[in-house]
Amino acid sequence: MSKPFVSVERLTQQFPDGAGGTLTVFENATFGIEKGEFVCILGHSGCGKSTIMNILAGLAEPTSGVVKMDGFEVSGPSLDRGVVFQNYSLLPWLSALKNVIFGVKARYPDWSKEKVEDHAKEYLAMVGLDGDAIHRKPAQLSGGMRQRVSIARAFANHPKLLLLDEPFGALDALTRGTIQDELVKIWGGTEQTVFMITHDIDEAIFLADRILLMTNGPHARVAESVEITLPRPRSRTTVVDHPNYYAIRNHLVHFLGERSKELAGQDTGAEDNKPETIRLGQTGPRPAPEPVLEPEPESSGPDLRAVNQ
């Protein structure tokens, strides 16, 4: 059986606890991500989601275990892995366009100046930024516009793996929904592999092909892998009408509300320690409801009509 595109194998992270001992944040985390898949990870604060992402990005070293991507062990940062943080992480002295150009030039040093600029503008346009806005510096942009620049910069570099660390957490609901739509649109066109941290259950269901669920820390682990059995393309106005939506949502709420605590620190005993695969609901569309005809109300008095004054 072939390995997945990204393979996380028995990953453990420990830190000094400040009292001469050791704190195990998570242990033996094991899961895979297929090429082109959009995977979200959910769990309470302190379970180690961001640490796992930093290890995937090559920004941190695990205490034990290994991460492999495309058959090679991940070691140190690489242009093959793009990261979008919650706090935008833009270079404040550069315009939006030049922030994207900076990354593209590093990725494609042999490209001409014109090709680099056209490429950067193309991806800024994909996230709804053009005209005068692309020449403004980050301080002159709204939070939503800054995050659009971050997403454009990450996608423009064509990374093999895109890592998103709560990229919409600081945005208002309307802006968040708009950028989520644009993210899905770009991802659908590029077929890049995406791994995303979020605390928003509905956001995870709308975006993901699969959701990984972590138990509470310390000694957290990836306990379940929930398949999102909702067809694509998805619309946020209709996805809630699919018969599988609330079955999935209720399962996630129940896990995070109760089972993440109950399972904390428990070892599955399985040799590979892979999360349990959960597949909920039917895969077909909901049948159209039979029309209900309301009976005509009985008249209880004389007809009334409006009279112009």
| Domain extent for 210 | 1-38+46-74+199-285
Strand residue runs (E) in the chain: 6-16, 22-33, 38-42, 64-69, 72-73, 81-84, 161-165, 193-197, 210-214, 222-227, 276-279
Q: Compute CA 189 distance to the chain's CA centroid, rounded to the nearest angstrom.
A: 16
pLDDT at 288: 43
* 248 falls within a domain: yes
Does any domain span residue 114?
no
Closest C-alpha among 91, 84, 173 to residue 139: 91
24 found inside a domain: yes
**Per-residue pLDDT of the chain in tens (309 residues, 90 and over written 9):** 678 999 999 999 998 887 878 889 999 999 999 999 999 999 998 899 999 999 999 999 999 999 999 989 998 888 899 888 877 789 999 999 999 999 999 999 999 999 999 999 999 998 889 899 999 999 999 888 998 899 899 889 889 999 999 888 777 888 888 888 888 888 888 778 999 999 899 999 999 999 999 999 889 999 999 999 999 988 888 899 999 999 999 999 999 999 998 888 776 555 567 899 999 876 544 444 444 454 555 544 555 454 454
CA 304 – CA 250 distance, rounded (Å): 49
Quote the pTM value. Answer: 0.85
**100 within a domain of the structure (yes/no):** no
Cβ-based neighbour number of residue 197 at 10 Å: 20
Q: How far apart are CA 180 and CA 25, in angstroms?
A: 30
Q: Give the number of C-alpha atoms closer than 13 A to the C-alpha of residue 87, restricted to the C-beta side.
A: 3
- Three-state secondary-structure class, residue 200: coil
Dist. CA 292–CA 155, nearest whole Å: 49
Residue at 26 is within a domain = yes
Contact yes or no for 35/53 (Cβ under 8 A): no
Do the domain assignments include residue 271?
Answer: yes
Identify whether the C-beta of residue 110 lies closer than 8 Å to the C-beta of residue 166. no
Domain count, the chain: 1
Answer whether residue 223 is part of any domain.
yes
The answer to whether position 281 is within a domain reads yes
